[in-house]
Structure 1
Amino acid sequence: MRMFAALAMVLVCAACAQPPEIPYASDDRVKRSAYRASGPDTITVITVVSNRTGKGAHTALLINGSQRVIFDPAGSFVNDRVPEQDDVLYGVTPAVLQGYKSAHARSTFHVVSQTLEVTPEQSAVALRLAMSNGAVPRAFCTSATTGLLRQVPGFGDIEQVMFPAQLMEQIAARPGVIEEKYFEDDEGGIVDGIEGIVLPD
């Protein structure tokens, strides 16, 4: 039974497959690329969802505090214009965020973004945890994300789960959540999507 559950988890979280080599950005480049979106501090759970089954395939966390980053545990998004350290993408400008969604959305998958307004203290804790978490093993994207969220003040009631849809359902039940869905109808996979992204200098 355990072996079956483990196999199912790997198949469901196929989008968590890490590329062979992930470039590790220098601290200087990360510092220079820092970007903060206007408006209140927020935490956004990003879920890649199958259009065929409705099941989740990947979980990531967009954190907008002193800077905006994507905690992309065991993610496959690699772009030489976007600095990354240990599964954290830095310099997440509107163009980078759009590129991230576009790379994951295609005819077989769409992207669900669930945003919650948080305090500066909450975003600071989430950002610190993401930056200190380290690289995440394949297929543990949701486990890592829920583990991080449970340590953020006000999110201690989040249950530790392994499947993206389970976390998405928990976030949907929280008061004040704003949900958006992003669709594209192109073919191909995430690598094709990444190669097609054009980011401004």
Structure 2
Amino acid sequence: MRRLCLSLCAIFLLSACLAEPEWAPEADVQRLAYADGGEASVTLITVIQTEKNEGGHTALLIDGSQRVIWDPAGTWWHPQSPERNDLHYGITPWMEAYYRDYHVRDNFHVVEQKVSVSQATADAIIAAYQANGAVAKANCTRSSSAVINDFAQFSSVRTTWFPKTMMKDFAELPGVITTTYFEDTLDLSDAEVIGREDL
């Protein structure tokens, strides 16, 4: 009986570590792709547990020839944002606000750190995360930092398991713009005015 319990525990732990592949059809990715034509940028999104001041999740909004969110091992989804292995496409302003609203709650807030890049760099970073594939649970910051620090502009970002460590490194990048969102300051209705018709 003890051997059976140990085997079942091992299977459970292994399944918890496996990545969960997802591959939206090409037609959906193409149909729902979105670009705002603005300045290319990379925005680190860090979810913070407010009471303990601990990092809970890491993601990246990448704005190049199209806007995507890299949400490694994340639970967010929307039927109008096709996903391919943790990379979500079709990130309109409304979808971006919806993603933010999903993470901000009573005891969690979101810190966003935006850095301007060239469109070529943004597109190369998107391609790098596309190539990375789906990420196993608890590896969101590890995968995010390991990929982005291959790019010269982000070479000072250390490979780390800890969301607040990556956030600290982003804070030291030249020209970074930081915005913090708490539940009492977040208003999804603002995004609806911008363009719910995109859904």
Q: Does 1:82 align with 2:81?
A: yes
Give the superposition deviation at 1:87: 0.2
How many matched pairs?
A: 172
Question: Structure 1 residues 22 and 38, CA, compared in 2 at 3 Å: closer, same or farther?
Answer: same
Q: Does 1:131 align with 2:130?
A: yes
Residue matched to 2:183: 184
List per-residue Cα deviations over 1:1-36 (Å, max 9, x = no partner). Answer: xxxxxxxxxxxxxxxx99x97753101110111111
Q: Does 1:111 align with 2:114?
A: no
Range 37-46 or range 97-106, more displaced: 37-46
Give the superposition deviation at 1:153: 2.9
TM-score, normalised relative to structure 2: 0.81
- The alignment partner of 1:146 has SS state of helix
Query: Cα RMSD between the aligned structures?
Result: 2.1
- 1:118 partner amino acid: V
Range 161-170 or range 20-29, more displaced: 20-29
Residue matched to 1:72: 71
Question: Structure 1 residues 52 and 144, CA, compared in 2 at 3 Å: closer, same or farther?
Answer: same
Give the superposition deviation at 1:73: 0.4
Aligned 8 A contact 2:48 2:111 in 1 = yes
TM-score, normalised relative to structure 1: 0.80
Question: Structure 1 residues 122 and 86, CA, compared in 2 at 3 Å: closer, same or farther?
Answer: same
The 5-angstrom pairing of residues 1-201 of structure 1 reads 24-184=23-183, 200=197, 201=199
Give me the whole-angstrom Cα distance separating, in 2, the residues matched to 1:125 and 1:180.
Answer: 25
List per-residue Cα deviations over 1:65-97 (Å, max 9, x = no partner). Answer: 010000100001022222111000100000100
List per-residue Cα deviations over 1:162-189 (Å, max 9, x = no partner). Answer: 010000011011120001111115xxxx
Gaps of 5+ in 2: 1-15, 185-195
- The alignment partner of 1:154 has SS state of helix
- 2:150 partner amino acid: Q
Give me the whole-angstrom Cα distance separating, in 1, the residues matched to 2:21 and 2:104.
Answer: 21
More helix by share: 2
Aligned 8 A contact 1:22 1:78 in 2 = no
Gaps of 5+ in 1: 1-16, 186-198
- 2:166 partner amino acid: L
Aligned 8 A contact 1:47 1:111 in 2 = yes
- The alignment partner of 1:53 has SS state of coil
Give the superposition deviation at 1:37: 2.4
- The alignment partner of 1:63 has SS state of strand
Give me the whole-angstrom Cα distance separating, in 1, the residues matched to 2:25 and 2:183.
Answer: 33
- 2:75 partner amino acid: S
Question: Structure 1 residues 135 and 23, CA, compared in 2 at 3 Å: closer, same or farther?
Answer: closer
Give the superposition deviation at 1:157: 2.2
Larger radius of gyration: 2
